[in-house]
Amino acid sequence: MQVFKFGGASVKDAASVKNVASILKKYSGEQTIVVISAMGKTTNKLEALVNAYFYKTGDVTSIFNDLKTYHFSLLEELFPEKNDNLINDLDNVFLELLWALEEEPAFSYNHHYDQMVSQGEILSTKIISAYLNTLGVKNLWLDARGIIQTDNSYRDGKVDYVLSEQLVKTQLIPLLNTHKVILTQGFIGGTSENYTTTLGREGSDYTAALLAYFTDAKHVIIWKDVPGVVNADPKYVKNTKKIQELSYHDAIELTYFGASVIHPKTIKPLQNKNITLYVKSFLNPSETGTVIREGDKRNSVTSYIFKEDQILLSIQPKDFSFIAEDNLSLIFSLFSKYNVRVNMMQNSAISFSVCTDNDKYKIEPLVTELQNQFKVLYNTGVQLMTIRNYNQEIIAKLSENKLVLIEQRSRNTHQMVLKD
């Protein structure tokens, strides 16, 4: 049994969906769980819709109509003959979304975010499941919210491993006896109150890993628009290298520091059951890609991770006290409260500095509450650069003509917060 994951870029248009179908045909006969993300940039569009609805910052009707037009245009390209059942399914999804938009916000932003943004995965999987069935790639559509159970930490749902595994074993695995292919959503889960949660941006990788863990799959393949795991984003570094093989440990390190090819939470469930992960190109599916598995050999390739649109916060006590354990405890509790991830941190006697993603809907309330107890300074528009397996020549070259705000290094990793 195997698990495949296809991201948004792999299903962005009709031609891409047809390519996914051709890949699945090559694996016909094997029991496969297929995890699908929202199509193209749908998640970004739905985020804009939530912001326009909750914060009154945009044209809700225009964004909604764009989303509907995009998905129904795909239907016309994929289904020469009208599929009334699928049209009704999609109409119902958009109708429920419209009803929600007509009501005033009654819950938190994060709650509304999850109920709305999750519809991208519902729409994509309904379309792709129906299309595959018309081609003879018989599959069963399954709602992931019924098997991936989380708490009510909206936008970052904490998975209940015990309950989710029980549901997978009692509800999903028996279906594989009658259906070779089960098609479901990435990124989303459900609560005991039947609300939808999401697992964090790019969380579909994590869904695939969870399902592999719960079903004891032999391997997972994440299909990407790159040849595998590369050592840098080509936007920043010329002559990038594909990494042929990574140990679980090295993969965890890379994803922790922000490498975007794999979701950070993906590796650990696979490592716990020694399940091999392949990262392969959906553009060239016959190529080997990158394999991630147990191994003692440390990756020695220099890797570069660049995170843009960061904010550097400097937090200082209002009195003349030190940044001691009690202050740190309060600071971290507030970061947790507002679900703000620390990408880099550094402290001195009287100051605690944190680099994080500049999400204004999280940062603004965080800073407001921090200012009750602390003086808060910040730099916006900074870049966090992480280099694994660095040397001084590389550091000097990449920081040339830039202001280094803070930096720190360990034996294998060097990090700098830079400003132009």
Task: Please report the domains of the chain, with CATH numbers, ordered by start residue.
Answer: 2-217 (3.40.1160.10), 303-419 (3.30.2130.10)
Q: In this structure, are residues 123 and 71 in contact, taking their beta carbons and an 8 Å threshold?
A: yes
Confidence bin at 31 (pLDDT 50/70/90) = very high
Give dist(CA 18, CA 135) in Å, integer: 10
Section 43-61 average pLDDT: 95
Determine the pLDDT at residue 218. 97
Confidence bin at 75 (pLDDT 50/70/90) = very high
Query: What are the strands of the beta sheet with 2-6, ordered from one edge?
Result: 140-142, 181-185, 32-36, 2-6, 219-224, 276-281, 290-293, 245-247
Determine the pLDDT at residue 29. 84
Is the pLDDT assigned to residue 297 strictly greater than 80? no
pTM of structure: 0.92
Determine the pLDDT at residue 255. 85
What per-residue string of b and e applies to 334-371 under the rule 16 or more CB within 10 Å gives b?
bbeebebeebbbbbeeebbbbbbbbeeebbeebbeebe
Determine the pLDDT at residue 128. 98
Is the pLDDT assigned to residue 261 strictly greater than 90? no
Confidence bin at 238 (pLDDT 50/70/90) = confident
Determine the pLDDT at residue 361. 85
334-352 pLDDT, tens digit each:
999 998 999 999 999 999 9
84-100 pLDDT, tens digit each:
999 999 999 999 999 99
Confidence bin at 22 (pLDDT 50/70/90) = very high
In one-letter notation, the amino acid at residue 109 is: Y
Q: Which residue has the higher pLDDT, 211 or 225?
A: 211
Is the pLDDT assigned to residue 356 strictly greater than 80? yes
Give dist(CA 404, CA 56) in Å, integer: 37
Give dist(CA 235, CA 85) in Å, integer: 43
Section 220-248 average pLDDT: 90
Beta strand 303-317 with 181-185 is unpaired
Structure-block tokens of residue 55: 């914060």
Is the pLDDT assigned to residue 316 strictly greater than 90? yes
- Give the rounded percent of residues in the chain with a pLDDT score beyond 70: 100
| Range from 102-106, 155-159, 254-258, 328-332 carrying the lowest mean pLDDT | 254-258
Confidence bin at 328 (pLDDT 50/70/90) = very high
Determine the pLDDT at residue 331. 96
- Average pLDDT over all residues of the chain: 94
Confidence bin at 363 (pLDDT 50/70/90) = very high
Structure-block tokens of residue 296: 């003692």
**Which residue has 């202050």 as its token pair?**
327
Is the pLDDT assigned to residue 256 strictly greater than 90? no
Determine the pLDDT at residue 204. 95
Section 203-216 average pLDDT: 97
Determine the pLDDT at residue 281. 95
Q: CA of 264: how far to CAs of 72, 88, 111, 176, 287, in Å? A: 33, 37, 23, 28, 24
Is the pLDDT assigned to residue 299 strictly greater than 90? no
Is the pLDDT assigned to residue 382 strictly greater than 90? yes
Kindly give, in sequence order, each residue whose CB lies less than 8 Å from that of residue 22, ignoring residues fewer than 6 positions away.
none
Please report, in angstroms and rounded to a whole number, the separation of the first and last CA atoms in the chain.
Answer: 50
Determine the pLDDT at residue 202. 79
Kindly give, in sequence order, each residue whose CB lies less than 8 Å from that of residue 383, ignoring residues fewer than 6 positions away.
306, 307, 308, 310, 417, 418, 419
Section 206-213 average pLDDT: 98
Q: In this structure, are residues 79 and 86 in contact, taking their beta carbons and an 8 Å threshold?
A: yes
Residue 46: other Cβ atoms inside 10 A: 23
